[in-house]
Amino acid sequence: MKRTPHETNSSWRTINRRALLIGGAQVGFAGLLALRMRHLQVDQADQFRLLAEENRINMRLIPPSRGDIFDRNGVVLAENEPSYRITLVPEDAGDVDDVLAKLSALVPMSEEDIARAKSEIKRSAPFLPVTILDRVTWDDVSKVAINTPALPGVTPEVGLSRKYPIGPYYAHVVGYVGPVSQRDLDRFEDPDPLLRIPRFQVGKVGIEQKYEDVLRGRAGAKRVEVNSIGRVMRELDRREGIPGSNIQITVDSNLQAYVQARLGEESASVVVMDCQSGDLLAIASSPTYDPNKFVRGISFNDYAILRDNDRRPLASKTVQDAYPPGSTFKMVTALAALEEGVIGPNDTVNCPGHLEVSGRKFHCWKRGGHGKVNLERSLSESCDVYYYDLALKIGIEKISAMAERLGVGVSHDIPMSAETSGLAPTKDWKRRVRDKDWVIGDTVNASIGQGFVLSSPLQLAVMTARLATGTAVAPRLIKSIDGTDLLIGPTPDLNVSTKNLDELRKAMYAVSNDRQGTAYRSRIIAEGFRMAGKTGTSQVRNISEAERRAGVTANEDLPWKRRDHALFVNFAPYDNPKIAVAVVVEHGGGGSAAAAPIARDITLQALYGDTPPLDAYPAKDRDAIAQLQKQIQDMMPDISASRKDRA
């Protein structure tokens, strides 16, 4: 059917409108697309360029060098040394078995080393380096470097490892480092990314652990170009990290080495403290161990030997262990009684050999008793009954309060592991912890440092220094960080009577200088160096009435673990106190026989700063002392070889 001109014109108008609409929509869409492309390519160009860069450029952390640790005179106690290792990239090696065989012909490799390497290669990506041998010698590194054309994929590398030049003398103080464990990570709310670097090491015990954040430093970083599967192609740039801070401690290595040598293999501990500043000049536990073995990875057999040793070489006895202080605690009871005014220095108490309290006999160590004793004689001859009587007059609360004032039963803020707070018991403590009421016999036992009373050797040294100075001097182990000395604030006064302290010091002087004193045989005779002290013997077993009637079994006739602990505390010189010393010999027997001679020798060594002259000792002891001094000198290391200029 033929269309009219009108219909044809109408149809064209309709088509044109539709074309315009469609064309307009297309142009609009194209415009929007162009605007979007401009936004993406121009406005957001930097963002997408960064995303693209992140696909091919990675940031890698660079571990910082760990800070060194020095003694008070600049002797190096912990440092970093170059550590050589041999690595292998499996995909570059080709035939791994063949390469390992060639490598083992050049450097010593056990079957265990080869098996471990193959196992680690199977677990790792083929392009990642695997450590085949660690801590190899420079000679081994040289052999590998010369033969690298025949060892595809093998690379000798150098890093840093921790070293303790005189490690055994500071194992319990400085501690050691080891690989990061999950337990280490759990200690931190937001762990440093450094801790997740394979084989990164952190402090495990001692100062290495307590000052981990200070010693570790801050990581550096490097930008490396990687391909699509993460293989490093080249290093683009690097920013070195900030090394850890150096730490200087208060201990004197010559004295520390002497103390360790003097203790030998005894299960014992010694603390030497500066009475004025609180500086710990020596703090030693015996027997000790070599911390370098832990850094390198101690073997199961070596660890079992340390773990199963009855004398517990792994324990930091100076701060970790708490002992009944025995008669060294009598100064606490005496000062509490003097301060309360319940007794004067010349008042006497009769000692018939025991005191009956609530139908129970509390015995004095001297079976026949001491007769009438005053403060000086009771302390000099260590009469127990005198202190039983004082305790009944003043009560446990006054005794415990004085103990804490003197530093017993409180934790001291020094950076060593597992520090105990000891125990100065009270009635409330027993109800709360033991769910029992305090009885009068508990007070009697506490008066002579038995029963519930517990103290660490560090606390005994603090107690002695406070008695010597009349101030609340506190122990200090860290001297400086990065060469900046830590400030020592003013030492508060003990707020006890100077007259009472003088009487107590005079009684302590009699302990080692009066012929009847329990430490007379270990006296110092050099003028200006005489010491004041107190022996202590703490029981580790109950003595039955039947045994008392038959005669108490001598310590030397008992198995080692059933013998009494031997203790001695002292300060010197008596007229001008400079140092305080505390010695505990586990299961050593009597304090006068086992602990006092050790304390006397250490005191003289500390005061003279070197081997003391023989005329400082009683004439009858000089031959034996001369022989002992020679033995100790032969045992001591050459400390001067470890001295380092910290500048």
Active site residues: 327
Rounded to 5 degrees, φ, ψ at 576 are: -150, 75
Taking phi over 0 as left and psi of -120 to 50 as alpha, with beta for the rest, 316 belongs to beta
What does the alpha-carbon distance between residue 117 and residue 225 come to, in Å, rounded to a whole number? 28
Angle at 428 between CA 422 and CA 433, to 5 degrees: 60
88 closest CA partner among 144, 146, 129: 129
Mark 218-227 as b/e (b = at least 16 C-beta within 10 Å): ebbebebebe
3-state secondary structure of 62: strand
What does the alpha-carbon distance between residue 102 and residue 88 come to, in Å, rounded to a whole number? 13
Taking phi over 0 as left and psi of -120 to 50 as alpha, with beta for the rest, 449 belongs to left
461 closest CA partner among 415, 408, 421: 408
Rounded to 5 degrees, φ, ψ at 271 are: -130, 130
- Please say whether the beta carbons of 315 and 323 come within 8 A: no
- Please say whether the beta carbons of 376 and 510 come within 8 A: yes
**8-state DSSP, 231:** -
What's the length of the chain? 647
What does the alpha-carbon distance between residue 501 and residue 113 come to, in Å, rounded to a whole number? 66
Please list the residues that pair with 176 across neighbouring strands: 205
**Which residues, including other chains, have CB under 8 Å from residue 395's CB and lie 6 or more apart?**
443
What does the alpha-carbon distance between residue 577 and residue 600 come to, in Å, rounded to a whole number? 15
Encoded amino acid at 189, one letter: E
Please list the residues that pair with 60 across neighbouring strands: 222
What does the alpha-carbon distance between residue 510 and residue 503 come to, in Å, rounded to a whole number? 11
Residue 531 token pair:
């010491």
- Please say whether the beta carbons of 295 and 623 come within 8 A: no
Peptide bond into 287 cis (omega under 30): yes
Please list the residues that pair with 584 across neighbouring strands: 269, 567
Q: Looking at beta carbons, which pairs linking 96-102 to residues 24 or more positions away fall under 8 Å?
A: 96/121, 99/151, 99/152, 99/153, 99/154, 100/132, 102/147, 102/150, 102/151
370 closest CA partner among 500, 517, 509, 501: 517
What does the alpha-carbon distance between residue 210 and residue 175 come to, in Å, rounded to a whole number? 10
Q: Find the DSSP H helices in 57-132.
A: 90-93, 96-106, 111-123
- Please say whether the beta carbons of 470 and 273 come within 8 A: no
- Please say whether the beta carbons of 426 and 400 come within 8 A: yes
Query: In what helix (H) or strand (E) does residue 211 lie, and over which residues does it extend?
Result: none
